[in-house]
Chains A and B, each alone.
Chain A
Amino acid sequence: MTVAIAPQRSRHRSRLRLVLGQIGYQSVLLVRSPAGAFFAVVVPLMILVALQFLYGQQTIEGVRSAQFFTAAMAAFAVMNVGYITTITGTVIARDEGILKRLRGTPLPPVAYIAGRIGAAALMTAGSVTVVILVGFVIYGISLDGSLIGVTAVTVLVGILCFTTVGLAATVVVASTDVALPIAYGTLLPLCFISDVFIPSGGGPGWLTTAASILPVKHLADALERAFATPPGNATLNGGDLVVLAAWAAGAFTVSVLFFRWEPRPSGPGIRRRLVKLIHAAVRR
């Protein structure tokens, strides 16, 4: 009878190096994929220009429209990179078998997730900078040190929130075919009820309540309010940031517990998937 080899501990690469490597890798993927740049920069700029064209002469919530829309589109850029490209990129990688291949290597899953968040943060920093520069150079918005600081912190918390929510969403997105429809199909309606494109004229109460629970409104409000304060007086909107951080924590937990590394075999529909998830959660 042949005896089995005795198990041996191996040396490992440090987690920090692996995370940094993943951030670099995910960034290259974002920068090289045409869709990445399109969602991050082109879409928010197009909408900024369109909204300015329509409402350019008006004052919104007491400030010039450009001031309001630049903040709104900075928030929209965060959601595009964090939520949209995370869902599409992750689901494509899963359907292609790339995630399953990664799972067979010593790369810890958390390094992959951290890499996605880190790369999204870098990409967002770039796209928000472009949006704000366009607002500043073309539409002459006012900008100062306190506003830049507040924007940086808010964008960082926002990207953490929307990337983790995007990762958590991939748990229920069945395949590449439905990734983009589901991503925009959930984000766009929320943007409309959350004062991203147009300041709300007040909707039904339940809609306002829904918007105030979900993260979209809190990111948009946090940035819009900072951009609406008189120069030099921008302050962090703590309440909004706490809600965003809470969503990030919840979504991160869901991702770590239920993240799927393999394409779904053509089989159980979303209902069975949810039932299985609930069973799994109860067992844990």
Chain B
Amino acid sequence: MVGRSDSRGVVERSPAGARERRGMDTGAAAITVEGLRKAYAATEALRGISFVVPAGAIVALLGPNGAGKTTTVEILEGHRRRSAGSVSVLGWDPERGGRDLRERIGIVLQSAGFDRELTVREVLRLYASFYASPRSVDEVISLLGLDEKRSARTCTLSGGQRRRLDLALALIGDPDLIFLDEPTTGFDPNARRRSWEAIERLRTLGKTILLTSHYLDEVQRLADRVVVLADGLIVAEGPPSSLGGRDVSEAEVLFRLPDGAAFTDLPEAVRGVARLDDGTVEIHTDSPTKLLYVLTAWAVARGAELTALRIVRPSLEDVYLELTRNATEQP
């Protein structure tokens, strides 16, 4: 199981009870993908990708439109057939897992509707009736914050409420593994935050989640691991905090030149690597500690304040844009 390398103090999620009851080994992989390829008539949507989703982890597939995220997820869900490669989902080949597999997975499709004639509670009761051991309908309604809407027809729900009902339907069978295909696309910030909270609650239930997204903040907040897809290939993989080596890559030190000081007054060790841009000094360095030691000693000796002093590492967005820059944008 991939450890969480975050410092947000998220509750350790291995209420292993549920998983062990079902004989799921927490050290095992819920999904393994090896050399997966998918060709449509003339184009190859996936060109040989391999990754693993450890049981109990939240893994995100990140990438621009047309990168192959939905194709990957739909092959894993059993909605699409692969052209080549091997895939295992909870030990099953999704093309052959049938009801045994579908009893244990929950799917949130990128877009899927509801029967407008039914109420929230009726839809959930209907879907609960498909599973051998479903969760309680009322409990799932509360978990997703749909209490006020339980007796409302589905056609009266807002976009955010519909998405939470999607999630509720994916959860109702008490699955071990949940697929979330762009769960918050098109949401306002409040609705996104509420959905994130709902997804984080799934984490505490010990569910394994494979999520696709093109929102970096979403991935950063929710995922243990990120797999970056571009043009049908994996271009990077790792925890969001160190993706693309951003935790060890060059830092940028920035500050404004103090009043009365000229660029040439800076100590030699600083001036040699610095660049002046409209009063702001920019320095790229792989040893920021040493550089700051020299710089701050110089400023203190002059009695000057280094205004707007900051150290910047590439953001997830910088890394992502760099990684996917060459991928063909498709609608």
Residues of the A chain whose Cβ atoms lie less than 8 Å from the Cβ of B97? 7
- Asked whether any CB of chain A lies closer than 8 Å to the CB of B22, the reply is yes
B30 and A5 contact, CB distance less than 8 A: yes
Decide if A207 is an interface residue (CB 8 Å cutoff).
no
Q: Residue among A5, A9, A12 with the most chain B CB within 10 A?
A: A5
Q: Is there an interface contact between A13 and B113, defined as CB atoms closer than 8 Å? A: no
Q: Are A13 and B130 in contact (CB under 8 A)?
A: yes
B:143-167 near A, CB below 8 Å: none
Q: Which residues of B contact A103 (CB under 8 A)?
A: 79
Question: B28 touching A104 by the CB < 8 A rule?
Answer: no
A2 and B29 contacting across the interface, CB-CB below 8 Å: yes
The CA-CA distance from A28 to B116 in the complex, in Å, is 11
Chain B CB within 8 A of A180 CB = no
Q: With A11-B132, A25-B126 in contact, is A5–B173 under 8 Å at CB?
A: no
Contact of A8 among B23, B88, B109, B130 (CB under 8 A): B23
What's the least CB distance linking A28 to chain B, in Å? 7
Flag if B102 contacts A104 (CB, 8 Å): yes
Other-chain contact of B102, A3, A98, A105 (Cβ < 8 Å)? A105
Docked CA distance A105–B134 (Å): 12
Chain B stretch 52-105: residues in CB contact (< 8 A) with chain A: 52, 54-55, 77-79, 88, 90-92, 97, 99-105
A207 to B11, CA, bound (A): 75
**Do B24 and A5 touch across chains, with their CB atoms under 8 A apart?**
yes
> Is A18 touching B30 in the complex (CB atoms < 8 A)?
no
Write the A93-109 contact mask toward B (1 if CB under 8 angstroms, else 0).
Answer: 10011101101111110
Q: B16-50: which residues lie under 8 A (CB-CB) from chain A?
A: 22-25, 27-30, 32
- List A53-79 residues whose CB lies under 8 Å from chain B: none
Task: Contact check, A12 vs B132: say whether CB atoms are below 8 A apart.
Answer: yes
Q: Which residues of chain A have C-beta atoms less than 8 A from B99's C-beta?
A: 10, 12, 106, 108
Q: Are B112 and A97 in contact (CB under 8 A)?
A: yes
Assembled-state Cα–Cα distance A264/B99 (Å): 25
The CA-CA distance from A100 to B104 in the complex, in Å, is 17
Residue from the set B78, B113, B126, B130 with the largest chain A CB neighbour count within 10 Å: B130
State in angstroms the CA–CA spacing of A121 and B279 once bound together.
81
How many A-B residue pairs lie within 8 Å, measured between CB atoms? Answer: 111
Instruction: Select one of A5, A8, A28 contacting B55, CB under 8 A.
Output: A5
Q: Is the CB of B28 within 8 A of A10?
A: no
Interface residue B114 (Cβ < 8 Å from any Cβ of A): yes
| Identity of the chain A residue whose Cβ is nearest the Cβ of B113 in the assembled complex | A96
Residues of A within 8 A of B169 (CB): 101
Q: Residue B118 at the A interface, CB < 8 A?
A: yes
Q: Quick check: B112 and A11 within 8 Å, CB to CB?
A: no
Q: Which residues of B contact A96 (CB under 8 A)?
A: 112-114
Nearest A-chain residue to B107, judged by Cβ: A104
A262 at the A/B interface (Cβ < 8 Å)?
A: yes
Q: How far is the CA of A32 from the CA of B111 in the complex (A)?
A: 24
Cα–Cα, bound, A2→B54 (Å): 8
The verdict on B129 contacting chain A, using a C-beta distance below 8 Å, is: yes
Contact B109 A12 (CB under 8 A): no
The answer to whether B79 and A100 have CB atoms under 8 Å apart is yes
List the B side residues contacting A8 at CB < 8 Å: 22-23, 90-91, 100, 104
> Contact: B103 with A10, CB < 8 Å?
yes
Contact of B28 among A4, A32, A33, A101 (CB under 8 A): A4
A21 contacts chain B at the CB level, 8 A cutoff: yes
Chain A nearest CB: distance from B330 CB in Å?
14
C-alpha spacing A106/B112, complex, angstroms: 17
A29 located at the interface, meaning its Cβ lies under 8 Å from any Cβ of chain B in the complex: yes
Which residues of chain A are within 8 angstroms of B103 by Cβ–Cβ distance? Answer: 10-12, 106
Q: B105 contacts which chain A residues (CB < 8 A)?
A: 104
Query: With a CB–CB cut-off of 8 A, which chain A residues contact B131?
Result: 13, 105-106
**Chain B CB within 8 A of A6 CB:** yes
The reply on B277 being an interface residue by CB < 8 A is: no
Set of chain A residues within 8 Å of B28, measured between Cβ atoms? 2-5
CB-based nearest B residue for A95: B113
Q: Known interface pairs A5-B28, A106-B102. Does A98 touch B132 (Cβ–Cβ under 8 Å)?
A: no
Determine which of B113, B118, B173 lies in contact with A97 in the assembled complex, contact meaning CB atoms within 8 Å: B113
Of residues A32, A105, A106, which shows the largest number of chain B Cβ atoms within 10 Å of its Cβ? A105
Contacting residue for A98 out of B29, B55, B115, CB 8 A: B115
Q: Let me know if B79 and A101 touch, CB within 8 A.
A: no
**Chain B residues positioned under 8 Å from A13 (CB to CB):** 129-132
B130 touches A107 (CB 8 A): yes
State whether A5 and B79 are in contact (beta carbons under 8 Å apart), knowing that A10-B104, A101-B169 are contacts in the complex. no
The 5 closest A-B pairs by CB, nearest first: A97-B112, A96-B113, A7-B91, A10-B103, A32-B117
Q: Which residues of B contact A (CB under 8 A)?
A: 22-25, 27-30, 32, 52, 54-55, 77-79, 88, 90-92, 97, 99-105, 107, 109, 111-115, 117-118, 122, 126-127, 129-133, 169, 173
Residues in A lying within 8 Å of B, measured CB to CB: 2-13, 17-18, 21, 25, 28-29, 32-33, 93, 96-98, 100-101, 103-108, 262
Q: List 23 A-B contacts (CB under 8 A).
A: A2-B28, A3-B25, A3-B28, A5-B30, A5-B88, A6-B91, A7-B90, A7-B92, A8-B23, A11-B133, A28-B118, A28-B122, A29-B117, A29-B118, A32-B117, A33-B117, A98-B115, A103-B79, A104-B79, A104-B107, A104-B109, A106-B173, A107-B130
